[in-house]
Amino acid sequence: MHNLITELNEPSDKTPCIQCGDLITINNRFCNYCGAAQYIAPREAFSYKLMLMKQAGFYYAIDLLVCILAFFDTFHGLSWLICADAIMAFTAVAFFAYDWQRNKEILKWKSFSFIKLLGFCTIAVTAQVLVHYSVNWLNLTVYSKDVSYYSFYASYGYGKILLIMFTAVFPALFEELGYRGYLLQTLSKITDDQQAVYISAFLFAIIHLSLLSLFWLIPFALFLGFIRVREKTIWYGVFFHFCFNLTACLFELL
């Protein structure tokens, strides 16, 4: 983690093009790749950033509303879960696609490394083991109860498959696309990469609406954010997220 933060703080003579996102020399007036002018007048720059903040706030408000509704009895059950996940998935895809020319770059996996991927997955599994036993201990200590996610799916046909799909597959794809994809990309246009990582991590932790889980959700989101910024792709984060959540599912099932 220290190395990742250090890399983000290192000075660079390159900056992303305001139009296509490719790296160009800081003093360039035009992008070498798409030809877009790089100067934005202060007033226009403020209006542009304000528009991005409103857009990001709208995206987050939709996710937050869906999560809050889950606390009401009316919105319990598998049908609501499917509906909620569909809304959040559609929102992540729609907002990500809104600035497709810039955002599509992080869908590429230019420097794929199997060793690096295996390392991230190993870290994810190890982290989930620590989180699993820590959370269980806290639940028993604070609430005097043992929490089971599988109990929600057990009464449905193919309950084990549903658990893995809704707990591991969908979050890994659409939370990464939404938070380390769209939201982090948008925040990086408003502030620097490091601050964007911290803000997006905090918002990601809050959206889970679990005070007891903040102790691991914030480091988890920070790590994913730094991976995304350093590797310039969301795919390492997707696999990390999937392995982390899949390990939680296996604890429930085995």
DSSP the chain: -HHHHHHHHS--SEEE-TTT--EEETT-SB-TTT--B----HHHHHHHHHHHHHHHHHHHHHHHHHHHHTTSGGG-SHHHHHHHHHHHHHHHHHHHHHTHHHHGGGG--TT--HHHHHHHHHHHHHHHHHHHHHHHHHIIIIISS---SHHHHTTSTTHHHHHHIIIIIHIIIIIIIIIIIIIHHHHHHHS-HHHHHHHHHHHHHHHT--GGGHHHHHHHHHHHHHHHHHHSSSHHHHHHHHHHHHHHHHHHH-
More confident residue, 12 or 83: 83
d(CA 207, CA 34): 37
pLDDT for the residue numbered 106: 94
The count of other CB atoms within 10 Å of the CB of residue 137 is: 10
Q: What is the mean pLDDT of the chain?
A: 88
| 8 Å CB contact between 197 and 226 | yes
pLDDT at residue 226 is higher than 90: yes
The tens digit of pLDDT for each residue in 150-184 reads 888 888 889 999 999 999 999 999 999 999 999 99
Least confidently predicted of 28-32, 36-40, 208-212:
36-40
- State how far the alpha carbon of 111 is from the alpha carbons of 21, 69, 79, 136, in Å: 18, 41, 40, 38
d(CA 238, CA 231): 12
d(CA 93, CA 181): 10
Least confidently predicted of 9-13, 24-28, 134-138:
9-13
pLDDT for the residue numbered 22: 76
pLDDT for the residue numbered 7: 46
Angle in degrees, 0-180, between the axes of helices 214-231 and 235-253, rounded to the nearest 10: 150
pLDDT at residue 1 is higher than 60: no
The tens digit of pLDDT for each residue in 107-159 reads 999 889 999 999 999 999 999 999 999 988 888 887 777 777 788 888 888 99
